Amino acid sequence: MTKHASNEPFFWILFSAGGMMAAIFIPIHLFLFGVAFPLTWLKAPSYDQLMSLARLPLVRVYLFVLCSLPLFHWAHRFRYTLYDGLKVKHLNELIFALCYGGAAVGMIIAAYLLWNIG
Amino acid sequence: MPGMSATKQQTIRPAPAYTEFHPRWYRPKVSVHWWLGEWHYLKFILRELSSVFVAWFVVETLLLIDALRGGPQTYAHFLRTMQNPVMIIVNIISLFFVVFHTITWFNLAPSATPIRLGGKRLPDVMVSAPAYVAWAVVSGFICWMVLR
Amino acid sequence: MADKIVLEIARYSPESDHEPHFESYEVPVRREWVVLDALNHIKDTVDGSLTYRWSCRMGICGSCGMMVNGEPKLTCATFLSSYARNGNKVRVEPLRYFPIVRDLVTELGGFVSKLKKAKPWLIRSDERPLSQGEYLQTPEQLDRYKQFSMCINCTLCYAACPVVGLDPIFIGPAALALAQRYNMDSRDQGSAERTAVLAHPDGVWGCTFVGECTRVCPKHVDPAGAIQQYKIAAVIDWLKSFVTPRGRDARHVSNQAAND
């Protein structure tokens, strides 16, 4: 445990930033694409509309952050939920690797997809 | 020995020399179902599990971006998949948990970041209110960007 | 309102019991009686062997904390009438997550040693001689930490915190809140010394902001808030440690202290 004594602030910063990002930006995205468009409460944007948005550099950076920071928020929170909720703290190296590793994989996928979105 | 049975993991230890002035303490065990025992604990675990739905949103968004890269047909296919009743139910539940995250996050933030003005600490609501306003403004802006 | 109420009290006698069991006692309900009055009544008139801690009976000494119907409470501040009104029984148990010595008495040695780790006293790097007079403090400087100074060490927060129950080494709410109380005291110069011990996975980083500690605190200390503020201060210290050479040494000291 002590080798993480000085690294914990780094993960906590990611957790906090991801949590704030998720809190402010995710609900509306999820509402639009997950509920409003499928239920046709609002008209979904056409391919051309959405693609012209998605090609903008600023939008791609935004989407990258939107798909990365919240993953690290999940990683940190889920790691502690496994420690406390399932009392598996003895597996902490494995949990650490799966959680932050998973988040890192997601971030890399996001970077790859957004780098040349088309 | 009373109270000390050997299990596969433990060896039988000789009884400690409990004295009149150091009696045997009883050490209660915390069950792995501790979080089901109280509504406050359950609410806490649900709040923590909201992070899973946050991660699910990211997965969905990556799938959307991938669909966009594939062209108009894959995008249309993505939209159709989102209309599957199972997906809609999953996303409504996700939306509930994501909003639960937002509300608990904004309501807890003031105790972590007390703001002092003029020698006094600002009431919590004055710290969380701007966050709600920012949420509304950002949501409106994104709607406008996506729907115009 | 009923004139009698039943108390189910956890009894544990280390000489003869392997684990606690409950015994029921019927107690008269007086309008102004608290649970502590009921316990005293039982000890005086029914069963003199009932063992529990109490002292001031006015909510300032922190001795009489117990679980009342599953909630950590000061029994001197919990009125019987609110339970009698609903026709409920009152279940009294020792505070959760502590070893039990006898009946309702918990073993607090672990808590005291955790408290000491937080160094809850003024630490000065330069002691001023008495001739220079007192350390002066404005009302605003006092206001910064006053809420956290109200802690009476009753350990209700430890009984409420699930992390305390799951991780016996976790330092716990009161110790961390008191550390923050001293860190925010303008007269104190010891925050680096405390951070060496507390910015640690079993210190501040073990807390997941459940918030139960704040909910049950009888003195409205808000330990959860204190801990989150401490986390932010620890993060700033950690970031500074990459920039300042003194900070770099502090990080090495912190790793050293954590290894001890």
State residue C102 phi and psi, 5-degree precision: -165, 135
Residue of A nearest to B130 (CA): A24
Amino acid A2: pLDDT: 37
Lowest-pLDDT choice from A29-33, B6-10, B139-143, C54-58:
B6-10
Q: What is the mean pLDDT of residues A6-18?
A: 92
Nearest CA in chain C to B20: C15
Q: Is C26 on the interface with B (CB under 8 A)?
A: no
Chain A residues with CB under 8 Å of B71 CB are 47
pLDDT in tens, C77-106: 999 998 988 777 999 999 999 999 999 999
Mean pLDDT of C229-234: 94
Distance separating alpha carbons of residues C166 and A88, to the nearest angstrom: 10
Question: pTM of the full predicted structure?
Answer: 0.90
Q: Is C5 helix (H, G, I), strand (E, B) or coil?
A: strand
C180: left (phi over 0), alpha (psi -120 to 50) or beta: alpha
B91 in A contact zone (CB under 8 Å): yes
**What is the average pLDDT value for chain A, to the nearest integer?**
90
- pLDDT of res. C138: 95
Residue C12: CA atoms inside 13 Å, Cβ hemisphere, count? 23
CB nearest to C162's CB, from B25, B41, B108: B41
Helix (H, G, I), strand (E, B) or coil at C108: coil
- Test the A interface: residue of B34, B41, B65 with most A CBs within 10 Å: B65
Spans of chain B below 50 pLDDT: 1, 3-8
> Mean pLDDT lowest for which of A4-13, A78-87, B114-123, C213-222?
A4-13
For residue C22, the cross-strand partners are C10
In this structure, are residues B44 and B29 in contact, taking their beta carbons and an 8 Å threshold? Answer: no
pLDDT of residue A1: 34
**Cα–Cα distance between B30 and B9 in angstroms, integer?**
18
- Prediction ipTM score: 0.92
Q: What is the predicted pLDDT for the residue at B5? A: 47
**Smallest Cα–Cα separation from C23: which of C8, C12, C38?**
C8
Residue C3 has a pLDDT of 85
Residue C142 contacts B where some CB pair is shorter than 8 Å: no
Contact residues, chain C, for B121 at CB < 8 Å: 143
Residues pairing with B121 in the sheet: B116
Mean pLDDT over residues C40-53, rounded?
Answer: 97
Instruction: Check CB contact under 8 Å for A70 and B55.
Output: yes
What is the distance between the alpha carbons of residues A8 and A13, in angstroms, rounded to a whole number? 9
Binned at pLDDT 50, 70 and 90, residue C114 comes out as very high
pLDDT at B21: 76
CA dihedral C106, C109, C111, C115 (to 10 degrees): 150
* CB within 8 Å: C143 and B121: yes
B35: nearest CA partner in chain C: C162
Pick from C11, C18, C184 the residue to mutate for testing the B interface (most B CBs within 10 Å): C18
pLDDT(C209) > 70? yes
> How many beta carbons lie within 10 A of that of residue A59, not counting itself?
16
Residues A40-47, mean pLDDT to the nearest whole number: 94
| Helix B124-147 × helix A47-55 angle, to 10° | 120
Cα gap C249→C246, rounded to integer Å: 5
Tell me the CA distances in angstroms from C41 to C4, C20, C44, one per residue in order: 13, 21, 5
